[in-house]
Amino acid sequence: MIKQYLLSPGPTMVPERVLLRMAHPMIHHRTPQFSAIFAETKQMLEALYQTDNDALMLASSGTGAMEAAVTNLCAPGDTLIFVNGGKFGERWGKIAARHGINAVEIKVAWGDAVAIDDVQAALNAHPDAKGVFVQASETSTTTEHPIREIAALTAKIDGCVTVVDAITALGVIDMPMDAWGLDVVISGSQKALMLPPGLATIALSEKAWELIAATKGCHGFYFDLAAERKNQRKGKDTTAWTPAAALIIGLNEVLKMIEEEGLQNLFTRHQTLAEATRAGVTALDMRLVSNAPAASTTGAFVPDGVDGAAFIKYLRDSMGVTFAGGQDHLTGKILRIAHLGYYDAFDVTIAMSAIEMALERFGYPVAMGAGVAAAQRVLVNRVPRAVL
């Protein structure tokens, strides 16, 4: 009997009460009964977004919502600027290329946050750009980009918006959409929203809606944001196409949990878990991947001589602890330890304990308990848990 621990940055663990809520018998999505759940869920989702705008739900993965943002805001031949500091940043460019949109790349070294001066320079060089497309948290390098500062730049430019992939940031860090002037914010169900994958969310500012209305070209059919807004608005409370109903019902339960916790507690918890994890891996002499580490996931280099891919496989198959590895040139070199969503102090303990024992098994000398101890020193006074 090996218990399973899912400590990857998506999918993340789904709370028991959410799994059970979703296991209730199915209800029809074109009924007042579902619409009532939908309306309540949407309102709570908008509270999490910290926005007065509509937060829309799409039956797709986050990539679908990314494509929706690109194709609804930009017509073929238009220009957009995107920050490429990892696998997800790179995706903006691929989506734009597929649709004949001119994508201006701001290339950033993996592990670095984008320099705000580089964004300003790109905006200066491309005054016709429809927007800056960026990740709040670039999951492949566990790095946070300065989205607030970017939004302040585009706020000064007519017809230019800031589009944020917040798939591993919404519900993790305090990123008030309206207060910061973020125009488009995207998330996905299988991250801090603590659900299985298959539901994406997207909220847009009035400035973004005006840009969409003025954009000639193909908005797509399945990903037609204006059609979704028309259907999902308060009072109508439905979706243009058949919704991922079970996930929306699960999201209702998730957002009640978040309401019970309180937004500030939610952000503090994630910050604390991130600091504890960084302290833990640092104590084990594992160097951080990022110079601007995200609160969602900690990336750390495995020690020289350890095969990262084999290390992760051993942790998963022999110890029951699933982490993520690295992608592209970081393949086999890093470990990514998630701490977002349904994750608390003892999950950090498990992560550190598993890494220590696995390092020992891989012949890498480690002071048993050093990572756990360092994490605990961060956690002990800060986590509101009766047993500590």
According to CB under 8 A, which one of 222, 267, 346, 362 is a site residue for a second copy? 222
The CB-of-369 to a second copy minimum distance in angstroms stands at 28
Residue 72, token pair as written in the block: 């609804």
Q: How large is the C-alpha radius of gyration of the chain?
A: 21
The CB-of-194 to a second copy minimum distance in angstroms stands at 9
Which amino acid, residue 210? Answer: E
62 vs 308, beta carbon nearer a second copy: 62
* Omega before residue 15 within 30° of 0, cis: no
Q: Which stretches of the chain are DSSP H helices?
A: 16-22, 32-49, 62-73, 87-98, 116-125, 147-154, 177-180, 206-214, 225-232, 245-261, 263-283, 308-319, 345-361, 370-379
Residues 84-113 that bind a second copy (CB under 8 A): 94-95, 98-100
Residues 192-211 that bind a second copy (CB under 8 A): 196-199
Distance between CA atoms of residues 359 and 370, nearest Å: 12
Which amino acid, residue 344? Answer: D
Which segment (24-32, 264-272, 289-297, 352-360) binds a second copy by CB under 8 A?
A: 24-32
Residue 120, token pair as written in the block: 């300003």
Backbone angles phi, psi at 211, to 5 degrees: -65, -40
270 vs 316, beta carbon nearer a second copy: 316
Residues 322-381 that bind a second copy (CB under 8 A): 322, 324
Cβ atoms of 162 and 182 closer than 8 Å: yes
The CB-of-3 to a second copy minimum distance in angstroms stands at 10
Residue 247 lies near a second copy (rule: CB under 8 A) = yes
Query: Count of residues binding a second copy (CB under 8 A)?
Result: 55
74: which residues sit within 8 A by CB, 6+ positions away? 80, 96, 99, 101, 130, 131, 215, 217
19 vs 152, beta carbon nearer a second copy: 19
The CB-of-323 to a second copy minimum distance in angstroms stands at 9
The CB-of-146 to a second copy minimum distance in angstroms stands at 26
The CB-of-254 to a second copy minimum distance in angstroms stands at 13
According to CB under 8 A, which one of 39, 40, 47, 63 is a site residue for a second copy? 63
Length of the chain: 388
> Which residues of this chain interact with a second copy, rule CB under 8 A?
4, 6, 8, 10-14, 19-20, 22-31, 59-64, 67, 94-95, 98-100, 188, 190, 196-199, 218-224, 241-247, 316, 322, 324
